[in-house]
Amino acid sequence: MTIRVAVVGLGFGAEFLPIYQRHPDTELYAICQRNTEKLNEVGDQFGVDRRYERYEALLADPSVDAVHINTPIAAHAPMSLAGLNAGKHVACTVPMATTVDECVQLVEAERRSGKVYMMMETAVYTREFLYAQELLTSGKLGRLQFLRGSHQQNMSLPGWPEYWYGMPPMHYATHAVGPLLALARARAESVVCFGSGRIRDEYVKQYGSPFAVESALVKLKDSDLACEVTRSLFDTIRQYRESFDVYGTERSFEWEQTIGQHPVVFSGFEEAERVEVPDYGRLLPKQVASFTQAGVYDEEHEHTSFIQGGGHGGSHPHLVNEFVSAIRDRRPASVDAATAANWTMTGVCAHESAMRGGERIAIPQP
């Protein structure tokens, strides 16, 4: 079975093109980009002949089996809905949506269409996550007691697309939320969140969100666990950090404090060891295993694909393989619509809680 995939959005999305070209179960059938010059530049570079400037025209092509969406955040939900309603399998970068209603609509659309939806959450396929998951499933962590996630980034400098400036921090929280809920194997039930500090006035205007930092406590459904999530985007100085910590009765795992230090595993009562997290390319088909690394030479198209950090901690080929395998095996993806909705709505509801002064908000369970 060969799955014909079209990649939509060729900025970040271009990093996935050579992976689809090499995966044994896919054909990189088409690409889509509104900017004609960019479309042709990338199409020529990767040898892709079918090129679309309009998403609607792409969806009308009966030869397209699946679309992988890498567009600005506001377009994620409507484009994903259109893809499912057109009978295509849909992969979409994070977040799934920016409202609770959009999340619910996508869950309903996936069920109605019978197609695979997957939110391509990089944080649950990084080397660090796969290592922590291995510690958990092997029993080395013992019983989970608490989880903490943070995604801190200072985007205050000019150069980002305009829609970013002033975005509520928790509207883009899945990198911090996803690993916690995936390791806990639970859904978020309710959230209490407080905002802290204030971003500059010109940033507040676009979304009406004043907070420099939003920090939440999340109650998990049918579980004795709670999680802590912290998110910042503007006017808060910190080296980039997209992290999670996991505390168990036998061992605990903490993300490195600064880049290059390596994470720490705690054991016993006072023992601590920095660990070099291994690569997990061995879990992938051999044709794409090397894409967990930083640079891969594509012999067929005679170029090197330099992928930052092997694609978000080596996650990119794992994401592609999971999406493709779910389609091939006729099963839900690991981050299907209901899971993606829960992770996304945790952030959306957390921001609502912050705007209401820390009121507890129940998270819908579609």
Q: What is the DSSP string of 48-65?
A: --EEES-HHHHHT-TT--
The SS3 of residue 307 is coil
pLDDT at 1: 84
pLDDT at 141: 98
Flag whether pLDDT at 308 surpasses 50.
no
DSSP string, 81-95: HHHHHTT-EEEEPSP
Instruction: Assign 87 a pLDDT band (cuts: 50, 70, 90).
Output: very high
pLDDT at 42: 97
All domains of the chain in start order, with CATH:
3-122+286-333 (3.40.50.720), 124-279+343-362 (3.30.360.10)
pLDDT at 294: 60
Using alpha carbons, select from 254, 244, 252 the residue that is nearest to residue 179.
244
Using alpha carbons, select from 296, 244, 298 the residue that is nearest to residue 123.
244
Task: Report pTM.
Answer: 0.94
Give the pLDDT confidence of 131-181 residue by residue, as tens digits: 999 999 999 999 999 999 999 999 998 999 999 999 999 999 999 999 999
Flag whether pLDDT at 96 surpasses 90.
yes
Flag whether pLDDT at 301 surpasses 80.
no
According to DSSP H, which parts of the chain are helical? 17-22, 36-46, 55-59, 76-85, 100-113, 127-137, 174-184, 201-207, 316-329, 337-355
Burial call 132-151: b when 16+ CB within 10 Å, e when fewer: bbebbeeeebeebeebbbbb
Angle at 26 (CA atoms; ends 130, 302), nearest 5 degrees? 90
Instruction: For residues 226-253, give the mean pLDDT.
Output: 97
Give the pLDDT confidence of 101-129 residue by residue, as tens digits: 999 999 999 999 999 999 999 999 999 99
Single-letter residue type at 103: C
Instruction: For residues 324-346, give the mean pLDDT.
Output: 98
Give the pLDDT confidence of 267-285 residue by residue, as tens digits: 998 899 999 999 999 999 9
